[in-house]
Amino acid sequence: MNNVIHNREKPRRRLLRFRKIILSIVLIFTLLASGTAVWAYLQLTSGLPQVEGEYEASGLASEVDVYRDENGVPHIEADNDEDLYYAQGFVTAQDRMFQMDLSRRQASGMLSEVVGEDALDSDRYFRTFGLRRAAEDSLDAYDEETLAVLEAYADGVNDYISHMHTENERPVEFQLLGYEPEPWTVLDSLTIGKFMAYDLGGNWQGQAFRHWLANNASEEEALDLMPTYPNDGPVIMDTAKNMDIDIEESFADAGSYQPKPFNGSNNWVVSGEHTESGAPLLGDDPHLGLDTPSIWYETHLNSPSVNVTGVIFAGVPGIILGHNEDIAWGVTNVGPDVQQLYMEQQNPDDPNQFLYEDEWYDAKVVEEFIEVDGYDKPFLHETIITRHGPLISEYSHEKGVIGDEALALKWTAHESSTEMQALIGMNRADDWESFSTALEHFHAPAQNFVFADTDGDIGYRANGKIPIRTDDDDALFPVPGWTGDHDWEGYIPWDELPTIENPESGMISTANNQIDDEGYDYHLSHTWAQPYRHERILDMLDDDGSFAADDMKAMQMDVQNMHAEEFVPILTAAVADEDLREIDEDALGVLTSWDKVDDKNESGPLLFHLWMNAIPHVLFAEDIPESILDIFEGEANVVDQLIREAAEGSPGPWMKKNGGLSVVATEALQLAVDYASDAQGDEPEAWLWGNYHRTAFDHPLGDVAPLHLLFNPSPKPVDGSSITVMAASYNDETGDTNHGAGWRGVIDLADLSESEHIVAPGQSGHVMSDHYHDQLLDWVDGNYHTTSMVPENYQSESTHLRLVPN
């Protein structure tokens, strides 16, 4: 019996031991998983800023207080300017160091050092373009005070970088890419400034496109796509004098006009005679790329010489848009013709010599070594710089634009400039005169500044270096560089730039539209923005009401689609009914009943935008290569005009060769319907704009799966489009928003102690921060936060970090 029991217990013991082994294995894996989770958490939270307590800073003369409010906005209080900008550099680096490093690397052509071969083409392009060379040339133009500001800012950034090194607290992006940032320099800040001029000041692609067109299409076809501006189109100088604009009449005889190849910006200012408070109101929402983190960083700076708040680019000291205790200002892009392509004659016996006025001269040759991660040795890059600027021929050759000619680029921002000096002066200005004086140092990019002060004055200025061209040059095409006949004749005198002070209307607004008509003595540009945003702004301003800040915010969130107001009737009347399918007819029914509002919960916006996007494909796909269409400056406005002329009975060659407006409209409609039905089903009334048009705010590392799950926010349906005041331009293929107002600001001059803001998607660049994406839904819904300049207001609800000298 005992043997039986003993024999029965053996399997039980073996089973118990097996269970113990399994439990041990499970426990080990659990501990490993937990350890991995803990390790991953520690990596993700590494580098989160210290926001409370005390930090010993090596470069301070006295203590600095940093209060971060509930929206992550730092309020920096310092006893002197050097400490103020030191602290700004340190604090900005705490929140945005990876963004800052990536920005300087992209602008300087140094991305491939950390990214690898995939970035080499980008690096070669920016080395050729020479943003960092232009920044270096600007150093000697700055006064000692501005250089001291830049040095102090760089010292503050380097304090944070040193802390990263010594404490091994690197933001997770640096860990993933396996590198640490190099020390920050004054040149890095200036190079980022030059990059913004690059981002906002290009017209050479349009010249290249038109050159291709002139050589590859008939003369009639080329002329059909040339830019002009309507005789009765709204202009800034005129609308400031007379705001009573009849929208339908403004479009009646519209000519062909082009926008800039980027989605523009809005700003406006109204005097006290139009406000509830009796003081001016100012709204500004500049439109740039929509990314994570935001291109904008909100900050409040306070020292004995300055008390200013607003937004700035990470990596640059001061405030570029916002207000102080006396004035407020905002900008949109002027978009003038500040670039010129020159066809150069190269010496067949010496490729580094070029002809000018019958003599050969030696071009400057710049050789640079580009470090490339994964390469055994650096890549040697050569830039040839002619008297007109660097040769960019290969970038045109790659697109098949300019045969074999050597092509040089002249650009205002290649010259030395002093925007940082202007910025410091703007921050301290207390009236229109002192503000305007500061703008004398702001050269590139040219910007439409609107202004208001507590005395009730409002003003406008198109400010920046804008070239004067010879009588025969119109900036439409590349010109010969060897004759000397096409060299610029200087720049528009500063005191002759378009300016408005206290107009009779009491209102000034800009939306990248034309500045002045033939009455202005100088050429500015051929390519102005489509009129729809500005027409809608004028419509809302011209309601004879007394405005409050909430009205300004509502204007910035307005999504009335005036493009559709004009073109839905034209296109629906043009389609060939006999060729329509049942689903096409259903879709047209949805479109004709649509209220012309780009609402994310409506189907009309989806069909309209897909339809308009399909028309260029029908018109040009067979004749113009896709790579050439990529540089078609102002394509949308040109297409609008082709449709108008055809509807008026005067179709141009592009319409005729594709069968006329009826055929083009019908084919494009069916392409749009097919796309929508494939994506959202066969019931047009169930289609939703918001299922296609969604927020993106992609992080630079979010393109790499599965990192997008970590860094990119979940897409959210969003109103608006590229032509509504609430601008949300999008990728045609995906519908993801990629361009718009990353910052919206409304400033009431009745009380400059506070102002209203949205900084999307948030203040922080740290994925584990509470302020990483906390303003994304605010951006979608138009929920502004209030930023106060009153210490007792922001100190009571803020974290407090004391920076003390060590």
Q: Can you spell out the DSSP letters for 776-803? A: HHHHHHT--EEEE--HHHHHTTSEEEEE
Residue 678 assigned to a binding site: no
Does residue 509 have an active-site annotation?
no
pLDDT at residue 398 is higher than 70: no
Across the range 55-82, mean pLDDT stands at 97
Q: Is residue 671 part of a domain?
A: yes
Element (H, E) at 70: none
pLDDT at 475: 87
pLDDT at 637: 87
pLDDT at 1: 37
pLDDT at 496: 95
479-480 and 507-510 as β-strands: parallel, antiparallel, unpaired? unpaired
Q: Point out the least confidently predicted range of 229-238, 347-356, 789-798.
A: 229-238
CB 234 within 8 A of CB 528: no
Q: Is residue 135 part of a domain?
A: no
Q: Is residue 48 part of a domain?
A: no
Phi, psi of 116 (to 5 degrees): 105, -165
The pLDDT confidence band at residue 701, using thresholds 50, 70 and 90, is very high
Catalytic residue among 138, 265, 436, 729: 265
Instruction: Give the mean pLDDT of the chain.
Output: 89
pLDDT at 545: 80
Q: Point out the least confidently predicted range of 518-532, 591-605, 649-663.
A: 518-532
| Cα-based angle 81, 85, 91 (whole degrees, multiple of 5) | 140
Domain count, the chain: 1
Q: Is residue 661 part of a domain?
A: yes
Q: Is residue 610 part of a domain?
A: yes
Q: Is residue 798 part of a domain?
A: no
Q: Which two tokens stand for residue 432?
A: 């229109």
The pLDDT confidence band at residue 248, using thresholds 50, 70 and 90, is very low
Collapsing DSSP to helix, strand or coil, 684 comes out as: helix
pLDDT at residue 543 is higher than 70: yes
Higher pLDDT, 790 or 44: 790
Across the range 543-554, mean pLDDT stands at 92
Across the range 774-801, mean pLDDT stands at 96
The 10s digit of each residue's pLDDT in 481-493 is: 999 999 999 999 9
Across the range 206-210, mean pLDDT stands at 89
Q: Point out the least confidently predicted range of 16-20, 126-130, 367-371, 662-666.
A: 16-20
Q: Please state, in angstroms and rounded to a whole number, the distance separating the CA atoms of residues 616 and 6.
A: 88
- Highest mean pLDDT: which range of 23-32, 65-74, 256-265: 65-74
Across the range 715-719, mean pLDDT stands at 97
pLDDT at 21: 56
pLDDT at 512: 83
Bridge partner residues of 408 (DSSP): 342, 391
pLDDT at residue 626 is higher than 50: yes
pLDDT at 39: 64
Nearest of 421, 437, 441, 417 to residue 429 by alpha carbon: 437
The 10s digit of each residue's pLDDT in 140-152 is: 999 999 999 999 9
Q: Is residue 485 part of a domain?
A: no
Q: Is residue 416 part of a domain?
A: no
CB 283 within 8 A of CB 751: no
Across the range 670-693, mean pLDDT stands at 97
Q: What is the DSSP string of 458-503?
A: EEEEEES--BPPPTT--SSS-EESSSSTT----B--GGGS-EEES-
The pLDDT confidence band at residue 655, using thresholds 50, 70 and 90, is very high
The pLDDT confidence band at residue 230, using thresholds 50, 70 and 90, is very low
pLDDT at 241: 36
- Length, in residues, of the chain: 806
Across the range 628-637, mean pLDDT stands at 88
Residue 183, classified by CB atoms within 10 Å of its CB into exposed (0-12), middle (13-18) or buried (19+), is exposed
pLDDT at 256: 28
pLDDT at residue 254 is higher than 70: no
Bridge partner residues of 321 (DSSP): 311
The whole model's pTM is what? 0.90
Q: Please state, in angstroms and rounded to a whole number, the distance separating the CA atoms of residues 448 and 463.
A: 6
Residue 452 CA, distance from chain mean position:
24
Range of the domain at 591: 562-596+603-687
The CB density around residue 410, as the number of other CB atoms within 10 Å, is 23
pLDDT at 508: 95
HEC per residue, 131-191: HHHHHHHHHHHCCHHHHHHHHHHHHHHHHHHHHHHHHCCCCHHHHHHCCCCCCCCHHHHHH
Task: Provide the percentage of residues in the chain whose pLDDT is more than 90.
Answer: 79
